[in-house]
Structure formats: structure tokens, C-alpha cells
């Protein structure tokens, strides 16, 4: 099989029974496609193979001449899923699934090679074309699931991969999406959305309502902090795909946006905490004043009640004293009346007259029972 590269779009033309006498032109990384080569240039040879299985987004196993061969797609790098020393990277599983759907087991592919046929791991390096003559190296990049790279002297497939990469960036798909949660643009966007939510969080009019707002914003603070940490980790070194997927200007802008979101939401949280403290202090002071007023009211009522009771007791005592005095006065008066009344001696008992014929005055002995002539 043969492949001819022509035009500024570097589009692959299917080989028909009557092969077109045009040649592929090797284009260095970053350059634009050149005009068609001379008609007598030799076409690029391809090997036909059958897909056995897909390993990840840029690696598969094919049956080539009844031998299983591991093929590494040239000039494209997809997020890691198989490295035992690294976590599964953002969109790594999606890249693997994309290649599995595009090249299911049993499908026919064609392999086209460049200068170096194998890498240090013994994998065959190739451009892989599907049954529709689509260069899968570029299709992976077009879906935003791969980044253009150059391995050694192999640069043949960089132009179509670069073109597909730019298309993915312009369409904001895959690694460049603002809606796929694990991408740096999406993480920064989520942080900024959290900041907007924090700014709109109602504070109410009470300390409890302010405390509820603090709790809501604190949860958003954690979201922003985690996003900022993830952005920092993604953009920390140049040996990861999240770093490579962005330009220096984009990395700088995203870092600045992430830092601004973090600073803004922490400021908002601190403001709400201060507001909560102020409202709590005001409510505590109002409660203290109210409690003090209530205590004074209760004390006044108690004093009033005590005075009323004292007045009642005093009134009862005065009445008792008056009654006692009146009684004493009555008794005294009675005694005085009794003492001032003329004493009338009782009539002596009738006795026989020992002094016969005596009718003069009588002097009674004590007890009034006997007498003698006075």
C-alpha cells in the first residue's frame, strides 16, 4: 500500500488501483506542508496488519505477518494510564476508549514508518491508518486527547498531528475543554464559579444566618483550594501532558486566574467570619442588656413585693397594737372605774344579839362574823 501527501492540508489520499504518481514529502515539526513532490518520487510503503488489542491512547498490538507487534503511534502523546509509578492522568481512559472504538479488535490497519522503526522499548513506531485511510495519530490529537511530540528523527507525521492539535485547541475539546473537570481550564473555571457563588451567598440578618453563609463559603473555599493545588500540580513541571497541552502564556494566565480566585474567596470567607463575629457580639451584648434589664425588673418586682409584704405586716401589727392598746385602755378604765366605785360592805349575817337590848354602832371583827359595841 502507498500514501501520497499533497496540498496545504496534508490530507491522505486513498490509493486506488491506478496509483497516482505523487510522492510524500517529509515535513519537519512545526512547518507547513509543502507542495506535491515530483511525479516520479517513490510512494511510501505501508504494511497491512490486523488489530489485536488497544493498550492505551497511543499504543496498540497488531497481528503483522502472524506475529503480535506492539505499535506506538508516532508524533502524538496521550495521557498516561499504564505507568505503575504514575496515577492515571486526565483523559487517559478516554483516550484509550477513543482508540478502542476507532480501531476495534479484528479491524484492518496500515502501518507507515519513518526514519527510526523502533523505540528503546522495542515498540514499532508508525503512523497508523484505519480502513477509511484516516491517520489515527492525528485523529487522537483532533479529539483533544493527544499532544504533538517528536521522538528522535521521526517527524513525518508532525504536520497532520500539529494541524489536528490546533483544531482541538480552537474547538476547546478534550484536554483544552473548559467543561471536562480534570483539565486545567475547567479547574480554573470551576474555581471562579465557586468565587461567584461565594460572592452571591446571602448573609441574612442574624449571627446564625451569617454562620450558615460562612459554612457555605468555607465549602467553596475548600473547592477552590483543591482546584488551585491541582492546577499548581498540573503546571508544576514540563514533563507532564497537562503542562505540554498549554502555551506559556496560557499557563501564566491560568495560574494568575487560579491565584486570584483563591485570594478572592479567602477574602470573602474572612469578611463573612468577621461579619458573623460582629453580629454575634452585637447579639451577645443585646442579650446581656436584656438579661440585665430583666434582672432589674425582677429585682424591682421582688423589692416591691417585699415592701408590700412589709407594709401588710406593719399594718397588721399596728392594728394588733391598736386593738391591744384599746383593750388595755378598756381594762385600765374598767379597773379605774372599779377602784373609784364606793365600797358597800355586805350585810352581816343575822346573828343572835349577844348584847341584848344594844342598838348602837357595831364594830365587826375581821371576816365580819362577830362584832362588839363601838
Count CB-CB contacts under 10 A for residue 28: 10
Residues 54 and 60: beta-carbon distance below 8 Å:
yes
The runs of H, that is alpha helices, within the chain are 92-102, 136-142, 158-171, 184-200, 207-234, 241-244, 248-340
Please identify which of the residues 15, 97, 123, 209 carries the catalytic annotation: 123
* Residue 322 neighbours by CB under 8 Å, 6+ apart: none
- Per DSSP, the residues of 31-80 read PPP-----TTSPPEEEEEEEEEEEEETTEEEEESSSSEEEEEETTEE---
d(CA 98, CA 105): 13
d(CA 223, CA 197): 12
d(CA 17, CA 373): 196
| 257 carries an active-site annotation | no
| Among 126, 131, 21, CA closest to 73 | 126
3, exposed or middle or buried, with CB in 10 Å at 0-12, 13-18, 19+?
A: buried
| 158 carries an active-site annotation | no
| 46 carries an active-site annotation | no
Please identify which of the residues 44, 80, 110, 192 carries the catalytic annotation: 80
Q: And the C-alpha cell for 36?
A: 506535491
State whether residue 29 is helix, strand or coil. coil
- Per DSSP, the residues of 349-370 read PP---SSTT--S-EEEPTTSS-
Please identify which of the residues 3, 44, 46, 72 carries the catalytic annotation: 72
250, exposed or middle or buried, with CB in 10 Å at 0-12, 13-18, 19+?
A: middle
d(CA 157, CA 117): 14
Counting every residue written for the chain, the total comes to 374
Active-site positions? 72, 80, 123
Amino acid at each position: 500500500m502507498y500514501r501520497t501527501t499533497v496540498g496545504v492540508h496534508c490530507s491522505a489520499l486513498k490509493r486506488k488501483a491506478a496509483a497516482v504518481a505523487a510522492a510524500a514529502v517529509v515535513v519537519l515539526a512545526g512547518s507547513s506542508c509543502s507542495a506535491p513532490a515530483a511525479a516520479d518520487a517513490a510512494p511510501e510503503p505501508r504494511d497491512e496488519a490486523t488489530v489485536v488489542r488497544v493498550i492505551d491512547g497511543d499504543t496498540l498490538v497488531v497481528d503483522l505477518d502472524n506475529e503480535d507487534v506492539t505499535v506506538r503511534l508516532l508524533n502524538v502523546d496521550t495521557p498516561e494510564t499504564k505507568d505503575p509509578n504514575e496515577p492515571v492522568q486526565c483523559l487517559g481512559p478516554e483516550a484509550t476508549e477513543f482508540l478502542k472504538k476507532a480501531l476495534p479488535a479484528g479491524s484492518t490497519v496500515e502501518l507507515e514508518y519513518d526514519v527510526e522503526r523502533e523505540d528503546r522499548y522495542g515498540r514499532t513506531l508508525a503512523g497508523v491508518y484505519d480502513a477509511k485511510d484516516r491517520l489515527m495519530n492525528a485523529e487522537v490529537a483532533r479529539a483533544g486527547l493527544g499532544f504533538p511530540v517528536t521522538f528522535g528523527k521521526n517527524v513525518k507525521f508532525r504536520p497532520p498531528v500539529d494541524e489536528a492539535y490546533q483544531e482541538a485547541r480552537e474547538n476547546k475539546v478534550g484536554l483544552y475543554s473548559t467543561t471536562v473537570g480534570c483539565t486545567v481550564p475547567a479547574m480554573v473555571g470551576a474555581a471562579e464559579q465557586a468565587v461567584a457563588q461565594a460572592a452571591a451567598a446571602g448573609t441574612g440578618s442574624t449571627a446564625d444566618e451569617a454562620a450558615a453563609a460562612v459554612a457555605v463559603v468555607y465549602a467553596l473555599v475548600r473547592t477552590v483550594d483543591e482546584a488551585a493545588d491541582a492546577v499548581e500540580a498540573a503546571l508544576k513541571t514540563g514533563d507532564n501532558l497537562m503542562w505540554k497541552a498549554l502555551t506559556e502564556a496560557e499557563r501564566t494566565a491560568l495560574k494568575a486566574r487560579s491565584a486570584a480566585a483563591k485570594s478572592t474567596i479567602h477574602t470573602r470567607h474572612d469578611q463573612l467570619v468577621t461579619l458573623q463575629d460582629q453580629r454575634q457580639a452585637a447579639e451577645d451584648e443585646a442579650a446581656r442588656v436584656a438579661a440585665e434589664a430583666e434582672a432589674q425588673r425582677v429585682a424591682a418586682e421582688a423589692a416591691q413585693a417585699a415592701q408590700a409584704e412589709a407594709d401588710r405586716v406593719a399594718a397588721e401589727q399596728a392594728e394588733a397594737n391598736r386593738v391591744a392598746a384599746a383593750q388595755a385602755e378598756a381594762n385600765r378604765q374598767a379597773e379605774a372605774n372599779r377602784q373609784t366605785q364606793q365600797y358597800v360592805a355586805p350585810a352581816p349575817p343575822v346573828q343572835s344579839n349577844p348584847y341584848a337590848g344594844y342598838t348602837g354602832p357595831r364594830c365587826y371583827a375581821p371576816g365580819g362574823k362577830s362584832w362588839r359595841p363601838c
